[in-house]
Structure 1
Amino acid sequence: MRPHSERYFPYMLILPSVIGTFLLIVFPLVYSFFLSLTSFHLLKAQSLRFVGFQNFWEVLHDPAFWVALKNSLLFMVVVVNAELVLGLLVALLLNRASGGQGILRTLFMIPMMFPPILVGLQFRWFFNDQFGLLNNVLLSLGVIDRPIGWLVRTKTAMPAVMFADIWQNTPFTAIIFLAGLLSLPVEPLEAALVDGASPWQRFRYVILPMLRPLIFIAMTIRSLDAGRKAFDLIMLMTGGGPAYATEILGTYTFRRAIVDYQFAYGAAISFIDMVLTVGFAVYLYRQLLKGRT
């Protein structure tokens, strides 16, 4: 019979990970859910009292929450689909490049290396109405006769933020697709070529089906990551304005919890956001499994 020290040795190895997971994930999650069931105010410690699901009820009847949710969905759908399409096109071009592939890949990955804060500052200057590069180019070409306030107009603020996010994260999807293209078996492509298939037919009926798992993986990662990175861009470029035009769930949660000091209300918004995110991730995962069968 083994000594007790040897019997429990495997459990001792994972104990630090279990403790770290509890302290960094489980405890904050449970505590924030508890706060969402109270009336806690950051500047009024005595305001802590149990109110049940009143905060959730108020969030669901808050018009600003629905505006933020609509903007979040719109942002995710547009940027993720644009990054998938552009990433696939770039991957196809890089895959066909005969020389200098290493240099081209390195140059194309540069936007990924910038932190979102730096990207936000960069595009805040790019879309500036007085000193921005975009307005100066359009004015010099005669396309416009006066500067446009891209970040202060409700119809152009969100597209400007989307453009910044697409610029930074398209290389991520391109690298995933390029790795998939380089690992594809050549036999199906050679068979399609012998059968007289055109380049479009080879792409549509051979390459695209084999890339389907990678497409779902890239879509899942970017869909779950879009809101987190968009927070930095939006806070630096527009601050959620003008008139809630670029307000998403992340910025709205920050505004209510930190700026307005309504921490319990912000915790309720974050939990609703988490439930929606987990549900969407489960849906994408089931679609991926369905595609493998």
Structure 2
Amino acid sequence: MSLSQRISPAARLLLPSFVVILIVVAVPLLFSLYTSFTSYRLTRPDSILDVIGFKNYLRLFASTEFWIALGRTIAFLTVVLNLEMLLGLGIALLVHQITLGQRAIRTIVMFPMMFSPMLVGFQFKFMFNDNIGIVNHILQHGFGVTQAIPWLVDGKLAFFSLAVAEIWNSTSIFAILLLAGLMAMPQDPLEAARVDGCTSWQAFRHVTLPFLMPFVYIAMTIRSLDVGRAFDIVKIMTDGGPAGRTELIWTLAARAGYEDARMGYANAMSYIAVLLSIAFTLYFFRKLNAARQFLNEADA
């Protein structure tokens, strides 16, 4: 019996997909992993054969610039995720209370996530511009601010501006997922809580919120992967400036790889960022499983 006859029809149907995935995903991943152990430079193609072991990783661990960028990435991720969750929860609760035109409102809520992050970056770059930006225009003509605020020049304000752009772009993900959770929630526990004399806050705290927690952690998992690899908005709005004060790990890796041509070093940095994303994902999966177990025990 030939090899083609041994392969089942279902496997033969899936084979082209596996080949495409292998070429598009697996091969570049393995290539980048290999180059992270070399001194590969874009300006010296022959250096791809110069295997140096873990030297790139050791240089990273000894680099103050890398640790600052890594800490800033974690801080950015923490701030953005928590604010998106709170705002998304508030939007979901408000939309859930609406009975007339809710479908249209749900569509409007989804609009920000449909925009490309690069387009959002350009949009907020001009909005926060200290000379022609609409934010300073409103503050000066509506609130009596006398001097233009350097949103993208001051380090702390630039970090805040990036967070605002990222939150505006992706809060709708939390809102839609949490709204789906509210719509799927059974009404019997809420009615029982009202009969027992619980206030609205107590019913939300002890009934609604525990039911929504699995949806919260699903959204957290999805967004942690997105925010952990934040690049587009940061590149467009500040390019890591001023003086590297908004440099995140992916913008630092891009700078090392494409501006300094140290691709092996940049790939090593990228794999550490991937491990960071995996760590956050595993953390949120553990929280998700704990929330599901809590609901199962409550139902029992």
Judge same fold: TM > 0.5, yes or no.
Answer: yes
- Is 2:210–2:291's contact at 8 Å kept on the other side of the alignment? no
Query: Is 1:167 the equivalent of 2:168?
Result: yes
Structure 1 pair 147–270 and aligned structure 2 pair: CA distance change class (3 A)? same
Q: What SS does the corresponding residue of 2:155 show, helix, strand or coil?
A: coil
- Is 1:128–1:150's contact at 8 Å kept on the other side of the alignment? yes
**Offset at 1:45?**
1.9
Aligned-partner Cα distance in 2 for 1:290–1:155: 36
- Is 1:112–1:171's contact at 8 Å kept on the other side of the alignment? yes
- Is 1:130–1:147's contact at 8 Å kept on the other side of the alignment? yes
**Offset at 1:142?**
4.0
Q: Which residue of 2 aligns with 1:57?
A: 58
Mapping of 1:179-194 within 5 angstroms? 179-194=180-195
Aligned-partner Cα distance in 1 for 2:144–2:169: 26
- Is 2:40–2:47's contact at 8 Å kept on the other side of the alignment? yes
Q: Which residue of 2 aligns with 1:254?
A: 254
- Is 1:94–1:104's contact at 8 Å kept on the other side of the alignment? yes
Q: Which residue of 1 aligns with 2:232?
A: 232
Q: Provide, for residues 225-269 of structure 1, a one-character-per-residue CA deviation record: whole Å limited to 9, x for no partner.
A: 1133x3111111000111211111111110000111101000110
Q: Provide, for residues 120-152 of structure 1, a one-character-per-residue CA deviation record: whole Å limited to 9, x for no partner.
A: 111001100001011111111344211011101
**Offset at 1:6?**
7.3
Q: Which residue of 2 aligns with 1:135?
A: 136
Structure 1 pair 114–262 and aligned structure 2 pair: CA distance change class (3 A)? same
**Offset at 1:174?**
0.3
Aligned-partner Cα distance in 1 for 2:123–2:33: 37
Aligned-partner Cα distance in 1 for 2:110–2:276: 31
Q: What SS does the corresponding residue of 1:156 show, helix, strand or coil?
A: helix
**Offset at 1:109?**
1.7
Mapping of 1:84-95 within 5 angstroms? 84-95=85-96
- Is 1:176–1:218's contact at 8 Å kept on the other side of the alignment? yes
- Is 1:94–1:105's contact at 8 Å kept on the other side of the alignment? yes
How many residues align? The count is: 291
Aligned-partner Cα distance in 1 for 2:99–2:13: 49
Aligned-partner Cα distance in 1 for 2:64–2:7: 58
Aligned-partner Cα distance in 1 for 2:74–2:228: 9
> Which stretch shifts more, 278-287 or 213-222?
278-287
Q: Root-mean-square deviation (CA), in Å?
A: 1.6
Aligned-partner Cα distance in 2 for 1:7–1:170: 46
Q: Provide, for residues 58-104 of structure 1, a one-character-per-residue CA deviation record: whole Å limited to 9, x for no partner.
A: 01111111111011101100011000000001100001113121222
Structure 2: gaps (5+ residues): 294-300
Q: Which residue of 1 aligns with 2:296?
A: none
Query: Is 1:21 the equivalent of 2:21?
Result: yes
> Which stretch shifts more, 136-145 or 118-127?
136-145
Aligned-partner Cα distance in 2 for 1:193–1:176: 26
> Which stretch shifts more, 18-27 or 163-172?
18-27
- Is 2:228–2:277's contact at 8 Å kept on the other side of the alignment? no
- Is 1:94–1:101's contact at 8 Å kept on the other side of the alignment? yes
> Residue 138 of structure 2 aligns to which amino acid in structure 1?
V
Aligned-partner Cα distance in 2 for 1:34–1:11: 30
Q: Which residue of 1 aligns with 2:264?
A: 264
Q: Which residue of 2 aligns with 1:289?
A: 289
> Residue 30 of structure 2 aligns to which amino acid in structure 1?
V
> Which stretch shifts more, 131-140 or 6-15?
6-15
Identity of aligned residues (%): 42
Mapping of 1:184-223 within 5 angstroms? 184-223=185-224
Aligned-partner Cα distance in 2 for 1:55–1:6: 45
> Residue 60 of structure 1 aligns to which amino acid in structure 2?
F
> Residue 11 of structure 2 aligns to which amino acid in structure 1?
Y
Query: Is 1:120 the equivalent of 2:121?
Result: yes
> Residue 120 of structure 1 aligns to which amino acid in structure 2?
G
Aligned-partner Cα distance in 2 for 1:4–1:226: 45
- Is 1:240–1:247's contact at 8 Å kept on the other side of the alignment? yes
Aligned-partner Cα distance in 1 for 2:139–2:93: 31
**Offset at 1:12?**
1.1
Aligned-partner Cα distance in 1 for 2:7–2:277: 40
- Is 1:67–1:244's contact at 8 Å kept on the other side of the alignment? no
Structure 1: gaps (5+ residues): none
Q: Which residue of 2 aligns with 1:75?
A: 76
